[in-house]
Chain A
Amino acid sequence: MTDDPDHIIEVKELVKKFGSFVANDRLSFHVNRGEIFGFLGANGAGKTTTIRILCGLSYPTSGEIRVAGHDVYHEREKIKRKIGYMSQKFSLYEDLTVSENIRLYAGIYRLNRKQINQREEQLLERLGLLPIKNRLIRDIPLGWKQKLAFSVAIFHKPDIVFLDEPTGGVDPITRRQFWEMIHDATLEGITVFVTTHYMDEAEYCDRVSIMVDGRIEALDKPAVLKKEFDSKNMNEVFLKLARN
């Protein structure tokens, strides 16, 4: 396997079967270091299966896959230390406070006490959460929760952060602020791998892949895809691909 140092994720002929059902059918693609990579597809297209494999939570049936330079069959623990993950459904502990969540994740990622204190302060300050740091997560608005969850997911400065529908149900302004945070993270060298059902957000990605029935049907820059499918926006591209 060629090890292009600019490919932070390298996937060759990834197959994942559940019994006779083929969830991922010979996927081959790469993600460039530092880019925002949009991973789109209809419900049930196989996106979550792929993400779980890339995060070292599930074994592929076959294929060669490297994430942050590590093999997904034998070096899963190394991968886990180099990635961050957040989803819409589970991101923070509802029954812990803002501050406790930050400290818990910082501890899991093995920051020492001094680093934890320092970074907790910085983070609360930056997100404007200092006044509510002792409030339970379940009592804060979703938008704040998702911004905090993202910050926590990149707290340990991972090589890659996986975001699984991070903006679902979030108000339109907070959703845009969230994408500005994503852009800022890339400036710090973090690669972003993101899924979304908001097609305007597909435009914010450097490159986008669209998965249909376990296969990647299209992968390119949004501008190129729009031209190729003769569409005025990514929503049209998506509808054209996923409907056929």
Chain B
Amino acid sequence: MALIVNHIDKSFKLTRALNQVDFEVKDGELFGLIGPDGAGKSSLFRIIASLLIPDSGSCSVNGFDVVSQYRDVRKIIGYMPGRFSLYMDLSVEENLAFYARVFGTTIKENYDLIRDVYQQIEPFKKRLAGRLSGGMKQKLALSCALIHRPDVLILDEPTTGVDAVSRREFWDMLKKIQGEGITIIVSTPYMDEAEMCDRVALIQKGTILSITNPSEMGAGDVPLYALRSDRGVYAHLDKIRQMEECRSAWLFGDELHVTLNSAVDVTAVSSAIDGWNDPSIRLTSITPSIEDRFMGLMKEEK
């Protein structure tokens, strides 16, 4: 196992940051940790990276305990924190050379691994890191985290605040790195990125709600329906919520996603919406996405 997280608890003063967090990541897996800000993702990653000690529970990376064998752990991981933390007053090239030397290697030795990422910023290699754009900083940070060819790459919210195009490109890069046999553990607040992972853990308020394989997402426990209309769905939101049969209704792109108290209710709801004077309105049964699943689990938790 590349990573074993065993019943970890962590509190900061009054806040319970992590609550009995327990999961494993297999060798070579691309594992996602998905949840909003404040869910505990960064605390968990800091524990895995041996930078924070859990209150209880244990954690090991490739068999090395993150507390007692932290020196070994640090040699085999690459860690990219959420906040850009390279040297702003060193150039792109100097930063990369520095990280290579710290790990006893050279840029040349592992250039193959970082080529795809680094080539995009290489034209600016003399520029100070502090003067790079957000996207370029991200690529430099990834290059630095990879330069010693780690066994396990830990990326804390690499795509937060990044536009949809750059996010897609970043995930393409991750897939290639995974292809080199490197295990990747990555966190994100964007639910749609779940489908790029082999498995994902959904996390909220320090608790793992569920661990799933995004490609095997079947129908949920609660039947889910999409309400569509050519006239826009917002006007229908309140009406559907007021129906007795409705458990929840939320905006979802150009649809409303509706859960009902039971599958038999759909007949009643369908005939009711026929009376709403909107000939383009239709209600269809759909398979839940990761985001639907997440929202369902959040509600149960309350």
Contacts and interface: CB of A to CB of B under 8 A. Distances in A.
Interface of A: 41-45, 88, 141-143, 165, 168-174, 176, 179-180, 183, 197-200, 203-204, 222-223, 233-235, 238-239, 242-243
A173 B253 contact: no
B164 A235 contact: yes
Contacts of B167: 197
Given A43-B134, A143-B36, A204-B234, A168 B160 contact: yes
B234 A43 contact: no
Interface in B158-191: 160-168, 189-191
A169 B36 contact: yes
A171 B204 contact: yes
A44 B133 contact: yes
6 contacts: A42-B164, A88-B161, A168-B161, A176-B250, A197-B167, A238-B165
Interface in B25-59: 35-39
Contact of A233 (B36, B230, B253, B294): B253
A243 B133 contact: no
Interface residues of B, number: 35
B36 A197 contact: no
A42 B36 contact: no
A197 B164 contact: yes
Interface of B: 35-39, 133-135, 160-168, 189-192, 204, 230, 234, 237, 250-254, 291, 294-295, 298-299
Contacts of A203: 253-254
5 smallest A-B Cβ distances: which pairs? A171-B36, A169-B37, A200-B253, A42-B163, A242-B165
Nearest to B204: A171
B247 to A, nearest CB: 13
Nearest to A170: B36
Contacts, number: 86
A42 B166 contact: yes
A112 B251 CA distance: 38
Nearest to B135: A43
Q: In this complex, which of A170, A171, A235, A239 has the most chain B Cβ atoms within 10 angstroms of its Cβ?
A: A171
A238 B298 contact: no
A44 B161 CA distance: 12
A141 B38 contact: yes
A124 to B, nearest CB: 21
A33 to B, nearest CB: 19
A174 to B, nearest CB: 8
A172 B253 contact: no
B254 A243 contact: no
A169 B251 CA distance: 18
A242 B165 CA distance: 7
Contacts of B166: 42-43
A179 B164 contact: no
A173 B250 contact: yes
Nearest to A206: B232
Given A44-B134, A169-B37, A233-B254, 5 more contacts: A170-B36, A171-B204, A180-B237, A183-B234, A203-B254
A176 B295 CA distance: 11
A168 B133 CA distance: 19
Contacts of B160: 168-169
A188 to B, nearest CB: 16
Contacts of B191: 172
A44 B133 CA distance: 8
B211 to A, nearest CB: 18
Contact of A142 (B36, B204, B234, B254): B36
A171 B298 contact: yes
Given A239-B165, A242-B165, A200 B252 contact: yes
Nearest to B192: A235
Contacts of A41: 163
Contacts of A165: 161
Contacts of A243: 165
A235 B291 CA distance: 16
Contacts of B230: 223
B189 A169 contact: yes
A238 B164 CA distance: 8
A215 B275 CA distance: 45
Nearest to B233: A203
Contacts of A173: 250, 295, 298-299
